[in-house]
Amino acid sequence: MKVHYIDVGQAASSLLEFPCGAILIDAGAQDDKAEQNLINYLEHFFSTRPDLNHTLDLVIITHDHVDHDYALEEVVNHFTVKKFVDNGLSDGSGKNQKWLQEHTRELGITYGTYSFEKITANNNHAGYTDTIVDPIKCSAVDPKIILYSGSFDQKPAKWSAQAFKNGNNHSLVIKVIFDKSIFLFTGDLEQEAINVVTDYYKNTTKLNAGVWEVGHHGSYNATSDALLKEISPQYTVISCGHWDYGTHPGDNKLFKTYVYGHPRIVTLDKLAAVLTNNREAPIQVQAASASKVFQEVTITKSIYATPWDKTVIITADRQGHYQVSTGNN
């Protein structure tokens, strides 16, 4: 299989390519240009895979923020989408998640929504899956797609009202198992929800993965030591904008990589401390110590990111071997 971490700027969208199908996790884009780039990328992909007939077996939106669903309507209009999964919320900055919730029936799309309570019902620690979450079954291999967290129906006891209102904390947590190769997606999960998830699955190996899409675009508040201990990744990928996006006239006012300070040096340091694999060669990049404060840092470990690598493609076989290629290759 392959995972295409598509360069959509200060946003996220990942295409999962299997021998017999394709899935899209998030359909974000930082602006109209990035949206068109995403559509063009998918069009080109399907031209190389005519057997898939311009069809996405499943689209998952991790949470209803615009940087994760900006291009969703365009994706649905351009390609056949069989199934749609989200966290059931509809009051976030992303309007296209709500739009598709309201139109799945007329579009003939099977819809499933999942909360933390549904996923962990009856003290379930194995994760949750069904035929909507996992529609892929190839003749030679049957990948497994499993959810470990979703929206919270009830405010956890230690959360503030603000933490509960924060849509990032309601992100779906998705694991994709291709025999011995494993990919993990945690959306924009922030510290409060990370604590709940890591505590619940502590020492179960359920969050363990070879490749992790780093949470919340490499922000300071989405990567903890406890989470990294549970994941124990070999490779990490950050999807965010170029460091100076938001400083030029005409930049989208909704997406300010420069103001957000993505990715943060503290996050890169945490990743470097646990990763044992190295990049083929060190690379000098811009990273933030705070909002609007960037400096050059050297990346030697297996940390890949769309602002400096463009689209990142990780190919995985069934034995747990990963191969990384980038848009700069």
pLDDT tens sequence across 152-200: 999 999 999 999 999 999 999 999 999 999 999 999 999 999 999 999 9
pLDDT of res. 327: 86
Extract the tokens encoding 302: 């297996």
Closest C-alpha among 184, 190, 196, 259 to residue 223: 190
Side-chain half-sphere CA neighbours of 148 within 13 A: 30
Closest C-alpha among 314, 257, 302, 218 to residue 34: 257
The single residue listed with the structure tokens 């992909």 is 45
- Per-residue pLDDT for 61 more than 70? yes
Mean pLDDT of the chain: 96
Q: Identify the three-state secondary structure at position 251.
A: coil
Q: Where are the domains of the chain?
A: 2-326
On the 0-12 / 13-18 / 19+ scale of CB atoms within 10 A, 102 is exposed
pLDDT of res. 305: 98
- Give CA separation, 186 vs 42, 73, 191, 275, 290, in Å: 23, 22, 12, 18, 23
Averaged pLDDT for residues 7-14? 98
Averaged pLDDT for residues 125-133? 97
Extract the tokens encoding 28: 């974000």
Give per-residue burial for 281-309: e unless 16+ CB within 10 Å, then b.
Answer: eebebbbbeeeeebeebebebbbbbbbbb
Extract the tokens encoding 74: 């365009």
- Per-residue pLDDT for 254 more than 90? no
Q: Identify the three-state secondary structure at position 137.
A: coil
CA 121, distance to chain mean position in Å, is 24
- Per-residue pLDDT for 92 more than 90? no
Peptide bond into 263 cis (omega under 30): yes
pLDDT of res. 328: 67
Q: Identify the three-state secondary structure at position 287.
A: strand
DSSP states of 149-165: E-B-SS--TT--HHHHH
Closest C-alpha among 257, 266, 287, 277 to residue 323: 277
pLDDT of res. 329: 55
**Residue 308 banded pLDDT, cuts 50, 70, 90:** very high
- Whether the Cβ atoms of residue 70 and residue 29 lie closer than 8 Å to each other: yes
- Whether the Cβ atoms of residue 149 and residue 173 lie closer than 8 Å to each other: yes
CATH topology of domain 2-326: Metallo-beta-lactamase; Chain A (3.60.15)
